[in-house]
Structures are given as structure tokens and as C-alpha cells.
Amino acid sequence: MAESVYKIVELVGSSEVSWEDAAKKAVETASKSLRELRIAEIVQQDLKVEDGKVTAFRVRIKLSFKYES
């Protein structure tokens, strides 16, 4: 088996629907410019609050992809 190297980037996804949707949007957007995505790890979740109401769900994700030299 050939050895591989992976790079990890950190992204923030946002959604008005849910944390799951925010994560999905972040990965789908990243997949448009990054190839060979491997693992997405949610490292933080938070909420945007306006006038006492939740207006957005946000997630911080570490996303790994195969590094091509």
C-alpha cells in the first residue's frame, strides 16, 4: 500500500435550519474546490442570536483531504 499525506483545513458552516445542515453545506461547498475529501470532524457548535431568538446554527469543522504533491 502506498503511503499518503493528508492536509487538514478548518471551515465554518452556517445554516438557518440546523447544525447538521450547516455541516453539510460546509462540506458540499469545500468539495467544489478540494478533491479527495476524507474526514470531517465537528470541533465546535454555536448559535447566532438576535432579539432573543436563534437565527443561525454554526459549526466549525476540521476537514481532511488527500494532499497531492
pLDDT one-digit tens code per residue, 13-57: 999 999 999 999 999 999 999 988 999 999 999 999 999 999 999
Place of cell 443561525: 56
Sort residue 52 into left (φ over 0), alpha (ψ -120 to 50) or beta.
left
The CATH number covering residue 52 comes to 3.30.1660.10
Q: What local confidence, expressed as pLDDT, does residue 67 receive? A: 80
Cβ atoms of 42 and 59 within 8 Å: the answer is yes
Q: What local confidence, expressed as pLDDT, does residue 14 receive? A: 97
Q: What local confidence, expressed as pLDDT, does residue 69 receive? A: 67
Provide the residue range defining the domain that includes 48. 6-66
Cβ atoms of 55 and 2 within 8 Å: the answer is no
Residue 54 lies in a domain: yes
Residue 1 lies in a domain: no
